[in-house]
Amino acid sequence: MLNYDSIRHVKGESIFLDDFGAPAGTLHGAVFSSPEAHGKIISLDTSEAEKHPGVKAVITAKNIPGENQIGGIIQDEKLFADTEVEFIGEPVALVIADNLLTARKAAKKIKIEIEPLEVITDPKTAFEKGSLIIKQPRVYSCGSTGEAWKNCDFIFEGTAETGGQEHLYLETQSTLAMPLEGGSIKIISSTQNPTAIQRTAARVLAVSDNAIESEAMRLGGGFGGKEDQATAWAVMAALGCRITGKPVKIVLNRQEDMRLTGKRHPYVSDYKIGLLKEGKIISYEVVFYQNAGAAADLSPAILDRTLAHCTGSYFIPNVKAEGYSCKTNLPPNTAFRGFGGPQGMFVLEAAIFNAAEKMKIEPRVIQEINLLNEGDAFPYGQKTEFCKARECWNEAKLKFGFDSVKRKTDEFNEANILFKKGFAVMPVCFGISFTNTMLNQASSLVHVYADGSVSVSTGAVEMGQGVNMKLRQVAAATFGISVDKVKSEFTNTTRNANTSATAASSGADMNGNATKLACGEILSRLKNHFRRAAKLSESDPVEIENGYVISCGKKTNVTWERLTASAYRNRIDLSAHGFYATPKIYFDPRTNKGSPFAYHVYGTAVITITLDCLRGTYEIDSVKAVHDFGKSINPVIDRSQAEGAVMQGIGWLTLEEVVHNEKGRLISDTLSAYKVPDIGFTPKKIEFLFLENNDRNAGVFNSKAIGEPPFMYGIAAYFALVNAVKAANRNSDVKISAPMTPEKAFMNIYGEKK
């Protein structure tokens, strides 16, 4: 089964927000943002901008009819700064003009005077100064690390750092707000979370939620960057629309998008790991200092997932994981594929790497001994069910031959001076569900039209992950008809209320299950209608297969279309609303115990790289993984997702370097300065073996979520590079600080020891 959306993509016929024909008279907004990272606003002068020909309005905090507040989890983020600025790029005003160029030009005429305050960009510095998003630490623990240290043969401590990551969705943040009658406003935007926009716009405009109709078209990539951070622009456009009475469009250009929006959270983490001689980890303590930026955004939730995934794919009996969300003067960092999980897992892999080196064994010996088994408990209390950690590992070991990879790498390094190879193995276990149990709900509104065509509306936003196609497949399979009959609609809050963000890899699972329920309801009405018409009894089996009614096991000549037309004529309700709340999950945020995940996804990858020792540059030779796809309902989509995720993970740990200067200014603010993997950086070989299984789980038709889990295989690329650097220079004392850019690889070989 292909992804039918792709057919429009390859012809350039898919419509993204900026392609959408905006109504005549649409005005354009340009954001004026803070040039300073921290300070008091002494004065703000917009008069010159207002006088600029073509300018219709300049909007600041004082024009807000409702609350100047867009914070989701914590109310700590203003739409427009009014008294103080806390990061460079913090919106201060919106200029609205006839066209975008005019708006941008006028925005440059705004004058702001700021009395500078101390700028903090480093999370540990923020922690030491008490600059925290939430004062209390978050702590996940199990067993007793205090007791356990006594029993350890080895104890090692260290620090590990991971950097930020720019989402670089190819379509920048964009939104269009249009006035409707009676003060209502329709907002169309490139967002993963139309409901957040609806609620926030209502709050800022001081109207009720039902006055805002929020819609998401397809997204040109999201990756978490449009979960919370699409909201500000949409709300600004709505405010502009309210004030001017005209449609207002805001499309950030690339540099604005990079400067104004938050990224993956950088972390600095201190760990202490205790092991027995053979490599069994019995105690692990870790403190995470999360660089949250200037406002909470989703940081607390992201920190929770860091803590939940701090033991990765391993069972550790005694754990104490502590997390601080540190407030710095950077744009609020936000959701990004993995949602804190990668940062948590990286630290444990660093600890294992460090321990293995000191114990003179290979990291994979420690990794293998400690893999999760069926029934093992995570620090948050949940026990593994249908655990695939060992199965994936063993399959990978068998298919890819870890020992022969090791032998070949050693042989190569023995024979070559100018180039060195390195490899590393990375097992992944990732929990599926929003960590905030409340968000694990979804609805689906299904209409069957009299001609037999089907429309499915859910909260799932299509951003390349193929959820539209998967929903069509779910509806088609439930009805027993061809997917051609089914259309997935854009998410619109008037059709689907109280939607959760399309995030946490759970879009297809939750919205698919809701769709299944809604379709099931209509199907049962249709079957009963057929029974009545054919004068069958209630217990006579009626099915629909391949578009035909099967009655008592026999194919009839009644087509789906004939059945739906007949049902319509007989006044049968051909619409249904399905509601799905992920069952059995719960979590107590006071004790940090519970069973927060519907299920876990497992896998093991091995990555091999080649380092050019003279230049510090490197290539990825191969990425090979055995991945637990469950019963994939669309292998074409899932394979592409898996490969894309792992490449994004590799990018995070290798080339992608978010750089701020000491004043808090982003200096990697263009695509010429921020490099993501390109076609030339593609590994020579990528191999994903599907560990197919039909285990019961909460995924739709026993499929499994795919968006995030493979991202973390990229961690192997980092440690493969460390191994190659050490092969190039035995004495190199590599500081564990991702990404391993060519500069860092080079300096680890040649730099003076510090």
Partner 1 sequence: MNVHLKFIYNNEYVETDNNPSVTVLDFLRLQKHLTGTKEGCREGDCGACTILVGEMTGNFIRYKSVNSCLLPVSEIHGRHVVSIEGLNVKGMSPFQEALVNEGGTQCGFCTPGFVVSFASFLLSTDSFDTETALSFLGGNLCRCTGHNRIISAVEKTLSNLKGGAAASFSERVGLLVKKNYLPAYFAGIPERLMSIQREHKIFEGAENAVFVSGGTDLFVQQGDSLTEKNVVFLSGVLKGEKIWIEGDELFLSAAATVSDLGNSEIINKIFPAFKDLSKLFGSLQIRNRATLGGNINNASPIGDMSVFLLSLNTKVFLSNGKTIRSLYLKDYFKDYKTLDRNEDEYTQKFSVPLPRGVYKLSFEKVSKRTYLDIASVNTSLYIEYDSVITKAGLSAGGVAPVPLFLKESSGFLIGKEISSSTLGGLVEVALGEIKPISDVRGSAEYKALLLGRLLRAHFLKLFPEVIKPEDVLC
Nearest to 263 by CA among 643, 652, 642: 652
**47: DSSP letter:** H
| Whole-number Å distance between alpha carbons of 521 and 537 | 19
Point out which span in 299-307, 513-521, 594-602, 679-687 binds partner 1 (CB under 8 A): 679-687
Point out which span in 4-12, 69-77, 124-132, 485-493 binds partner 1 (CB under 8 A): 4-12
Among 11, 62, 554, 571, binds partner 1 (CB under 8 A): 11
CA of 594: how far to CAs of 428, 481, 653, in Å? 21, 40, 32
Binding residues for partner 1 restricted to 501-560, rule: CB under 8 A: none
| Whole-number Å distance between alpha carbons of 293 and 120 | 9
> Is 617 a residue that touches partner 1 (CB under 8 A)?
yes
Compare residues 43 and 672 and give the one whose CB is closer to partner 1. 672
Query: Where on the phi/psi map is residue 70: left (φ > 0), alpha (ψ -120 to 50), or beta?
Result: alpha
| Whole-number Å distance between alpha carbons of 13 and 547 | 29
Give the 3-state secondary structure of 414-438: HHCCCEEEEEEEEEEEEEECCCCHH
Q: Residue written as tokens 């939607």?
A: 499
CB of 3 to partner 1, least distance (A): 7
Nearest to 215 by CA among 175, 185, 249, 187: 187
Binding residues for partner 1 restricted to 238-257, rule: CB under 8 A: 253-254
Compare residues 599 and 711 and give the one whose CB is closer to partner 1. 711
Among 36, 77, 171, 376, binds partner 1 (CB under 8 A): 171
CB 627 within 8 A of CB 688: yes
Q: Is 708 a catalytic site residue?
A: yes
**Cis status, amide bond into 739, omega within 30 of 0:** yes
Point out which span in 146-154, 279-287, 473-481, 633-641 binds partner 1 (CB under 8 A): 633-641
Cα 439 to chain centroid distance, Å, stands at 15
> Is 312 a residue that touches partner 1 (CB under 8 A)?
no
Size, binding site for partner 1 by CB under 8 A: 82
Among 6, 159, 455, 559, binds partner 1 (CB under 8 A): 6
Binding residues for partner 1 restricted to 372-431, rule: CB under 8 A: 417-418
> Is 42 a residue that touches partner 1 (CB under 8 A)?
no
CB 300 within 8 A of CB 107: no
> Is 170 a residue that touches partner 1 (CB under 8 A)?
yes
Compare residues 105 and 600 and give the one whose CB is closer to partner 1. 105
3-class SS at 612?
strand
> Is 497 a residue that touches partner 1 (CB under 8 A)?
no
> Is 737 a residue that touches partner 1 (CB under 8 A)?
no
> Is 655 a residue that touches partner 1 (CB under 8 A)?
yes
> Is 16 a residue that touches partner 1 (CB under 8 A)?
yes
CB of 624 to partner 1, least distance (A): 12
Cα dihedral 650, 655, 656, 658, rounded to 10, equals 140
Among 145, 640, 723, 732, binds partner 1 (CB under 8 A): 640
| Whole-number Å distance between alpha carbons of 634 and 624 | 20
> Is 13 a residue that touches partner 1 (CB under 8 A)?
yes
Point out which span in 13-21, 115-123, 433-441, 526-534 binds partner 1 (CB under 8 A): 13-21
Binding residues for partner 1 restricted to 451-480, rule: CB under 8 A: 463-466
For residue 336, the tally of other CB atoms under 10 A from its CB is 28
Among 50, 256, 708, 743, which one carries the catalytic annotation? Answer: 708
Binding mask 85-124 for partner 1 (x = CB under 8 A): ----------------x--xx-------------------
CB 312 within 8 A of CB 338: no
> Is 751 a residue that touches partner 1 (CB under 8 A)?
yes
Active site members: 708
